[in-house]
Homo-oligomer: A and B are copies of this chain.
Amino acid sequence: MAGSRLKDVAERAGVSIKTVSNVVRGEAKVADRTRERVLRVIAELDYQPNASARHLRTGRSGIIALAVPELVSPYFAELAAQVIAAAKKRGCTVLIEDTGGDPAEELRIACGLSDPLIDGVLLSPLRLDEQVLGARERRVPLVLLGERSYEIPADHVLIDNAAAAREATDHLLSLGRRRVAAIGQPAGLAHATTVQRMHGYLTALHAAGVPHDPRLAPDTREFTRRAGAEAMHALLALDDPPDAVFCFNDLLASGALRAAHDHGVRVPQDLAVVGFDDVEESRYSVPSLTTVAPDKGGIAELAVDALMRRIDAGALAPHSRLTAGYELVVRESTRPAL
A45 to chain B, nearest CB (A): 13
Chain B residues whose CB sits within 8 angstroms of the CB of A53 once the complex forms: 52, 56
Copies in the complex: 2
Q: Which chain B residue lies CB-closest to A3? A: B116
Chain B residues whose CB sits within 8 angstroms of the CB of A70 once the complex forms: 81
- A156 within 8 Å of B (CB atoms): no
Q: Which residues of A contact B (CB under 8 A)?
A: 2, 48, 50-53, 55-56, 61, 63, 70-72, 74, 77-78, 80-81, 84-85, 93-98, 112, 114-117, 137-139, 225-226, 229, 254-255, 257-258, 261, 280-281, 283-286, 288
Instruction: Find A225's partner among B94, B115, B139, B280 (CB 8 Å cutoff).
Output: B280
Inter-subunit contact B48/A225 (CB<8 Å): no
Q: Which chain B residue lies CB-closest to A114? A: B48
Inter-subunit contact A93/B95 (CB<8 Å): yes
Inter-subunit contact A257/B281 (CB<8 Å): no
Q: A94-B96, A255-B284 are in contact. Are A56 and B50 (CB under 8 A)?
A: yes
Q: Which chain B residue lies CB-closest to A71? A: B81
7 contacts across the A-B interface (CB closer than 8 A): A2-B112, A48-B114, A51-B116, A80-B96, A84-B97, A85-B98, A225-B280
Inter-subunit contact A284/B225 (CB<8 Å): yes
Q: Which chain B residue lies CB-closest to A48? A: B116
A314 to chain B, nearest CB (A): 14
Chain B residues whose CB sits within 8 angstroms of the CB of A98 once the complex forms: 81, 84-85
Inter-subunit contact A115/B74 (CB<8 Å): no
Chain B residues whose CB sits within 8 angstroms of the CB of A288 once the complex forms: 258
Chain B residues whose CB sits within 8 angstroms of the CB of A63 once the complex forms: 95, 117
Q: Given contacts A2-B139, A71-B77, A95-B96, list 20 more A-B pairs with CB under 8 A.
A: A50-B56, A51-B52, A51-B116, A51-B117, A52-B52, A52-B56, A61-B117, A63-B117, A72-B81, A74-B74, A74-B281, A77-B77, A80-B96, A93-B95, A93-B115, A225-B280, A258-B286, A261-B286, A285-B286, A286-B286
Instruction: Find A72's partner among B77, B95, B137, B138 (CB 8 Å cutoff).
Output: B77
Inter-subunit contact B229/A258 (CB<8 Å): no
Chain B residues whose CB sits within 8 angstroms of the CB of A80 once the complex forms: 71, 96
Chain B residues whose CB sits within 8 angstroms of the CB of A255 once the complex forms: 284
Assembly CA distance A96 to B85 (angstroms): 11
A300 to chain B, nearest CB (A): 12
Q: Which chain B residue lies CB-closest to A84? A: B98
Assembly CA distance A53 to B138 (angstroms): 20
